[in-house]
Amino acid sequence: MTELYQLMVRKLWRKDALRLGKSAGGRTLTPQEISQLRPKEVDEVMDTEMQLLGYLAFKGMENNHQIEFDEETLRNAFGDVRAAFKIDLFPSQLLENMKQTSFLHTADADVDNNRNGSQQACIMDSPASTD
């Protein structure tokens, strides 16, 4: 079961790498190149997003298994991770990148037309609940 889960997660990370326009060696990876990445290479390409997601999961466990995060919580978490791992993106850039992943989505139920997308709550999804 663990192997199946890992395969699903890697498939989603590949999809996200394409969606985020990930690059290597100074150029954007093509869909074919992304599909041919080895598991370790997928991890390297998606390292920033994986670090952030892991940190959010840990923070969620600390907060009684929280899966919904408001903008302030996300920005604080991203600031912590940015400093700890020397990530070269600001919290607002990280937030926008993470919203494009298969694992963190805007909470559709809480959408308020008076708030922009970055102020809406985000929900951490499990791979089984993503497309």
pLDDT digits (tens, 9 = 90+) for 76-104: 888 888 778 777 777 677 788 888 888 88
In this structure, the strands spanning 122-124 and 104-106 are antiparallel
* pLDDT at site 99: 84
Is the pLDDT at 126 greater than 50? The verdict is yes
pLDDT in tens, 18-53: 999 999 889 999 999 999 999 999 999 998 889 888
Burial code of 22-49, b = ≥16 C-beta within 10 A, e = fewer? beeeeeebeeebbeebeeeebeebbebb
Question: From CA 48, how far away is CA 45, in angstroms rounded?
Answer: 8
Average pLDDT, the chain: 81
> Does residue 33 contact residue 27 with C-beta atoms inside 8 Å?
no
Which is more confident, 117 or 76? 76
User: Structure tokens of 12?
Assistant: 């989603």
Q: Which pair of tokens denotes residue 86? A: 């020397």
Q: How far apart are CA 4 and CA 83, in angstroms?
A: 33
Taking residues 46-69, report their average pLDDT.
86
pTM: 0.75
Residue ranges per domain, the chain? 2-129
What DSSP string runs through 18-51?
HHTT-EETTEEPPHHHHHT--HHHHHHHTHHHHH
107: how many CB neighbours lie within 10 A of its CB? 14
| pLDDT at 118 exceeding the cut of 50 | no
The answer on pLDDT for 111 being more than 60 is no
